[in-house]
Structure 1
């Protein structure tokens, strides 16, 4: 099992950052590993909603179905995988700062089978993907004019 968290400050209000980072439609814009993400449940996203994510990870196409387990706009969102290559949990928390918004993103996963042998590589790939995705989200959000 591995777990880690990434933190970033984004010069936008927490509501805007929350809306961007938790929107299935926006995820492919900021997370370059995501090919597509769509809501499988009726709108709006809420606790109990299901989301399908198609990704390219370490050169392989993978698909995860997620269950939203926490949704408290604009402070937190969490989900756990229902399917995919390994059981995974993710959580985003958002807090207002003098600059705008602090985002803390955490991932925990339990690789099984052959993935257990390469767990350190899988963990580093996931951490690196999350860190670069958050940096891209910051660039995109800060480049947009404030509403």
Structure 2
């Protein structure tokens, strides 16, 4: 079962949303906790590609290597985190709405704690992710619909 699952309807075609979402260099534009992104492999991402994403949690920064485990352009992708006290799984799906000029983006997150992360997940990471994903999806919607992205 996922820890956090949220959807947002965006007035853009699935292809437009997918091309923005699958480019990790955009993460800092719409995810408030991301402080840096460093691709370890060439872009565009494909199955097996890895990216180090560093997030700020309170006053600390936590890097996590994310690996693409599945990809189905322009409708879905799956990333799995490794290393660090908290490991995440991210499933993104995009479904066309109506005439295909609008889409529903769903982001499904799950977390696994290792060591001290076993305490962090239920007390800090999960609750914070629930709050942050709502703001992040609204920021993403604003960016994509304004044509800024």
The two structures share one fold, judged by TM-score above 0.5? yes
Q: 1:117 to 1:145 in 2, by over 3 A?
A: closer
Residue 147 of structure 2 is matched in structure 1 by 144
Q: 1:106 aligns with which of 102, 105, 108?
A: 108
Quote the Cα distance in structure 1 between the aligned partners of 2:42 and 2:124.
36
Quote the Cα distance in structure 2 between the aligned partners of 1:71 and 1:117.
31
Q: CA deviation at 1:124?
A: 1.0
Unmatched tracts of structure 2, length 5 or more: none
Residues 1-147 of structure 1 aligned to structure 2 (within 5 Å): 3-98=3-98, 100-118=102-120, 119-144=122-147
Deviates more, 1:114-123 or 1:43-52: 114-123
**Residues 22, 45 of structure 2: 8 Å contact kept:** no
SS in 2 for 1:26: helix
Unmatched tracts of structure 1, length 5 or more: none
SS in 2 for 1:122: helix
Q: How many residues align?
A: 146
SS in 2 for 1:134: helix
Question: Considering only aligned residues, what root-mean-square deviation do their CA atoms show, in Å?
Answer: 2.0
**Residues 37, 54 of structure 1: 8 Å contact kept:** yes
